[in-house]
């Protein structure tokens, strides 16, 4: 390549890169506007009530106060609700994974009587939204006197058709030879499931775990009807109740701090599992 040619190419690259940074800046400006309400919420949580009474529409936390946050962080209620959420969602997720992966293994690998009708019965669940059947479930828990317990928040939804469907599909794709080798060594089905199938399914199981956890953590309809005593609120419901109790007149900043407090754990969770979440959406939506 001639000197002139090399120079020309370098120039083109430079222009390209500059165009790229202009583009990034434009997208960044748009993202900033898009996220303005979040920034405003965060700023408002650091402003004193008196200043908020004068003017709400400000993005400058001056005068600055940590009063709202001290109040929120000292509230034993909020921490308790956070604990409830963590316990309920973790248990729910672990239970769903165990129960559904076992069933999925049977559907994927065993040849048994009534297999097709049973699998069809499982698939029916894909078409039944919880919103259509939650009233009998509510009555059941009423009869068992199990409302206002954490168990009531954990149980519904553990047996997920979607989870069985997804896992069955994945297990079917695992080469049979691996299993046969283990069987030669005298391993039983349960052992094969634990030491051959599960380790090979880590990606799909992690993705499923993350979305089950998020879904349960964020669920609203069921906990708001089942959990009516403040001891068993999840953080999501607790925020709603605080918001109702405080109204939007007197404790504006405090309420905003509570909202950020509620969002924080799940944002942390998101940043930890970011990659898995983003690739998991492709898995869950059946695109890849």
Q: Which of residues 129-148 bind other proteins (CB under 8 A)?
A: 129, 131-140, 142-143
Given candidates 51, 146, 200, 266, which one binds other proteins under the rule CB under 8 A? Answer: 266
153 binds other proteins (CB under 8 A): no
Residue whose CB is less far from other proteins, 73 or 267: 267
Geometric angle at alpha carbon 203, from 201 and 207, rounded to 5°: 120
Positions 29 through 58 that interact with other proteins (CB under 8 A): 31, 34-35, 37-38, 40-41, 55-57
C-alpha–C-alpha distance, residues 111 and 199, integer Å = 23
Of the candidates 164, 204, 207, 208, which one interacts with other proteins according to CB under 8 A? 164
Q: Nearer to other proteins by C-beta: 65 or 161?
A: 161
Whether 124 contacts 160, CB under 8 Å? no
Contacts of 193 (CB under 8 A, 6+ apart): 101, 102, 105
Nearest to 182 by CA among 200, 207, 204, 206: 200
CA separation for the pair 255, 246 (Å, rounded): 8
Does residue 60 interact with other proteins by CB under 8 A?
no
7 versus 12: smaller Cβ distance to other proteins: 12
| Residue closer to other proteins, measured from CB, 7 or 268 | 268
Alpha-carbon torsion 180, 182, 187, 193, what sign?
negative
Binding of other proteins by 243 (CB under 8 A): yes
What is the SS3 assignment for 234? coil
Residues 196-215 binding other proteins (CB under 8 A) are: 199, 214
The secondary structure element, H or E, covering residue 188 is none
Q: Long-range pairs for 39-48 at CB < 8 Å and ≥24 separation?
A: 41/256, 41/259, 41/260, 42/256, 42/260, 44/252, 44/253, 44/256, 45/69, 45/253, 45/256, 45/257, 45/259, 45/260, 46/253, 47/253, 48/253
Q: Which of residues 79-138 bind other proteins (CB under 8 A)?
A: 98-100, 102-103, 105-107, 110-115, 118-119, 121-129, 131-138
158 binds other proteins (CB under 8 A): yes
Instruction: Give the residue with the Cβ less far from other proteins, 7 or 32.
Output: 32
Which residue's CB is nearer to other proteins, number 63 or number 173?
A: 173
* Of the candidate residues 194, 200, 230, 276, the single one contacting other proteins (CB under 8 A): 194
Cα(61)–Cα(171) distance, integer angstroms: 53
Closest approach of Cβ 251 to other proteins, in Å? 12
**Is 225 an interacting residue with respect to other proteins (CB under 8 A)?**
yes
């Amino acid at each position: 390549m001639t000197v002139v040619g090399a120079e020309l190419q370098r120039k083109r690259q430079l222009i390209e890169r500059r165009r790229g940074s202009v583009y990034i800046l434009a997208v960044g400006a748009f993202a900033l506007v898009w996220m303005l309400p979040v920034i405003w919420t965060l700023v408002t949580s650091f402003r004193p009530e008196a200043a908020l009474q004068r003017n709400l529409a400000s993005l400058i936390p001056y005068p600055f106060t940590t009063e709202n946050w001290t109040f929120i962080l000292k509230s034993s209620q909020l921490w308790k609700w956070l604990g409830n959420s963590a316990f309920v969602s973790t248990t729910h997720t672990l239970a769903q994974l165990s129960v559904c992966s076992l069933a999925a293994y049977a559907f994927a690998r065993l040849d048994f009587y009534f297999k097709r009708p049973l699998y069809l019965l499982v698939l029916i669940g894909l078409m039944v939204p919880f919103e259509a059947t939650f009233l009998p479930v509510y009555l059941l828990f009423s009869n068992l006197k199990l409302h206002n317990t954490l168990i009531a928040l954990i149980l519904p939804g553990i047996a997920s058709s979607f989870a069985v469907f997804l896992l069955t599909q994945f297990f079917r794709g695992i080469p049979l030879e691996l299993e046969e080798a283990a069987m030669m060594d005298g391993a039983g089905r349960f052992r094969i499931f634990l030491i051959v199938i599960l380790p090979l399914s880590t990606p799909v199981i992690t993705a499923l775990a993350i979305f089950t956890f998020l879904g349960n953590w964020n669920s609203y309809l069921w906990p708001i009807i089942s959990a009516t005593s403040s001891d068993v609120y999840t953080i999501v419901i607790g925020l709603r109740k605080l918001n109702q109790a405080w109204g939007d007149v007197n404790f504006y900043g405090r309420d905003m701090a509570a909202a950020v407090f509620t969002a924080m754990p799940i944002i942390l969770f998101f940043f930890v599992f970011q990659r898995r979440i983003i690739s998991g959406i492709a898995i869950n939506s059946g695109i890849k």
